Amino acid sequence: MSIQTASDFTFERWQAVAEKALKKPETRLFIGGDYVDAIDGQRFDTVNPANLEAIATMSAANAKDVDAAVASARKAFRSGVWSRMAPRHRMEIMYRFTKLIDEHAEQLAVLDTLNMGKPISDVLQIDIPSVIQTIQFMAEYIDKIEGAVTNTESDVMHYVLREPIGVVGAISPWNYPMLMATWKFAPALSAGNTVVLKPAEQAPLSCLRLAELFTEAGGPAGVLNVVNGIGEVAGKALALHSDVDKITFTGSTEVGKLLLQYSGQSNMKRVSLECGGKSPQLFMADVADLDRAVASAYDGVYANMGEVCNAGSRLLVQKKIHDEFVERFIAEGKDAYVPGDPLDPETNLGPLVTSEAQQRVLSFIESGKEEGAELKFGGDIPGGMTGAYVNPTLFTKVNNSMRIAREEIFGPVASVIPFDTIDEAISIANDTIYGLAAGVWTQDLSQAHRLVKEIDAGIIWVNSFDEGDMTQPFGGYKQSGNARDNCIESLLSYTQSKSAWIRLN
């Protein structure tokens, strides 16, 4: 069923779809165009966080399976079956792939909802359309990747080719299971590389199906492989593998740092990192539309259960408007996100990804209380729910040295930090190891430009938050990473230049 048709499904219909999907989900690895069991037969459970029941027992790749997947990707790369395919033909396969994703939207959506608790409406309205857009955007550039002929001495012809890098290892997180994986494999494949994808162990089901659909669309065997598995085993083996030419990663800063080490310990492969964040939103007293700003504040930290790398979790509010801001936030934001069954199309707040994540978020909330922040609402588990739920939470009287202001919570927890002057706001905004994104709310053009220049972040939204399109480079400053997703810069980062210097006489 297409996205459009599935968008009309009722809760009961989704429950029936889920029941069917759980009867026999695909749990094996996808290597060389086929499903295969893990060589040593190891397995791990993947759990539905909405009811804490195991939904599938997945094959768990170890170093041997990763080796097989890399060998398959290398063979496909060397054969030229993909990298030397006529660009138009490669584009056709990618477009057919997007068509199949749309046709299978119902099945893909239910897998992510069951696997990580994301509300089904979000998967249909955000994740799947963005997956399709990403593949389309990258595919549109396949026959537009250009080299150069340089202006040099007359007896020499010098040209520069842009070639694919080779075998790309992609390691992705669970918060947007399909989309974060697509941000990696779509540009890598479009540039002519072959890929071994290691999806997050919390939500691997949909990525397996994506790889199968790529093959159904005409993608040659071995070009896109998927190795489910535990990060410290399968992910580590991939990142240490000496026949992998590049690792592209989205996940925590902690694991990002390990990947840099693995590269140094193996073959100095390139490492592109999209890591964590602790994004500030700055609300200056002259904000034009306080209601819109407040809505953007709670959407920016409660959407996707707060499990968003660029979540605006630090709300820096100028003292002149502080009380009014907090009052409106409580009036409008407290009940804007209501916990419910993520299969219900009316639900906009599902459970957190696991019980461990729930406990982690609750412990941050405890630390906020202990360190003297004022809990305005939430901070607890919603009554009557068995899953890994946490209510939307608001703290005021936060200062930037508290743990809730310094560490990435990855849950629906907002912290209001008051400030007096713009200098103070800039200093608080930049007082973090992260630099992924920021929001700025002001009517004053000079003030807006100054904030854009002085905040250390890869993305700054002015009078908006968390919007954009495929042309927008997505990535961070500082320990939020060193890569950019989505834009042309991303596509080119999966190519390397080759210089041909030809003496003519």
Partners of 167 in beta bridges: 194
| Interior angle at CA 143, CA 148 and CA 488, nearest 5 | 75
Please select the residue that binds ligand NAD; options are 255, 271, 294, 404, rule is CB under 6 A: 255
Which one of the spans 246-254, 292-300, 339-347, 496-504 is the region binding ligand NAD (CB under 6 A)? Answer: 246-254
* 339 phi and psi angles, rounded to 5 deg: -60, 140
Which residue is it, tokens 């990525």? 207
Closest distance between ligand NAD and the C-beta of residue 324, in Å?
31
Which one of the spans 249-257, 293-301, 325-333, 366-374 is the region binding ligand NAD (CB under 6 A)? Answer: 249-257
Which one of the spans 59-67, 129-137, 248-256, 448-456 is the region binding ligand NAD (CB under 6 A)? Answer: 248-256
Whats the size of the chain, residue-wise? 505
Question: Closest CB to ligand NAD among 120 and 409?
Answer: 409
Closest distance between ligand NAD and the C-beta of residue 155, in Å?
48
Distance separating alpha carbons of residues 271 and 447, to the nearest angstrom:
36
Secondary structure of 378-426 in HEC code, one letter for each residue:
CCCCCCCCCCCCCCCEEEECCCCCCHHHHCCCCCCEEEEEEECCHHHHH
Q: What residues from 369 to 428 belong to the interface with ligand NAD (CB under 6 A)?
A: 408, 410
123 secondary structure, DSSP code: I
Closest distance between ligand NAD and the C-beta of residue 242, in Å?
15
- Contact between 388 and 117 under an 8 Å Cβ cutoff? The reply is yes
Cα separation values, 72 from 32, 202, 427, 440, Å? 6, 25, 50, 47
Please select the residue that binds ligand NAD; options are 110, 284, 309, 404, rule is CB under 6 A: 309
Distance separating alpha carbons of residues 52 and 75, to the nearest angstrom:
41
Question: Closest CB to ligand NAD among 296 and 304?
Answer: 304
Show the tokens assigned to 502. 């030809």
Tell me, yes or no, if 366 is annotated catalytic: no
Which one of the spans 4-12, 229-237, 328-336, 491-499 is the region binding ligand NAD (CB under 6 A)? Answer: 229-237
Question: Closest CB to ligand NAD among 40 and 232?
Answer: 232
Please select the residue that binds ligand NAD; options are 113, 172, 396, 495, rule is CB under 6 A: 172
Which one of the spans 247-255, 377-385, 392-400, 438-446 is the region binding ligand NAD (CB under 6 A)? Answer: 247-255
Indicate whether 484 belongs to the interface with ligand NAD (CB under 6 A): no
CA torsion sign for 213, 216, 218, 219 is positive
The catalytic residue among 106, 201, 212, 274 is 274
Tell me, yes or no, if 309 is annotated catalytic: yes
Binding mask 173-202 for ligand NAD (x = CB under 6 A): xxx----x-----------------x-xx-
Question: Closest CB to ligand NAD among 198 and 478?
Answer: 198
Q: 423-431: long-range contacts (C-beta < 8 A, 24 or more apart)?
A: 425/282, 425/284, 425/316, 425/318, 425/451, 426/451, 426/454, 426/455, 428/280, 428/314, 428/316, 428/400, 429/280, 429/282, 429/314, 429/316, 429/455, 430/454, 430/455, 430/456, 431/400
Please select the residue that binds ligand NAD; options are 33, 235, 300, 312, rule is CB under 6 A: 235
Radius of gyration of the chain from Cα atoms?
A: 23
Distance separating alpha carbons of residues 354 and 471, to the nearest angstrom:
33
Closest distance between ligand NAD and the C-beta of residue 227, in Å?
10
The catalytic residue among 201, 207, 212, 309 is 309
Catalytic residue numbers, as ranges: 274, 309
Residues contributing to the site for ligand NAD (CB under 6 A): 171-175, 180, 198, 200-201, 231-232, 235-236, 239, 250-252, 255, 258, 274-277, 309, 408, 410, 436, 476, 480-481
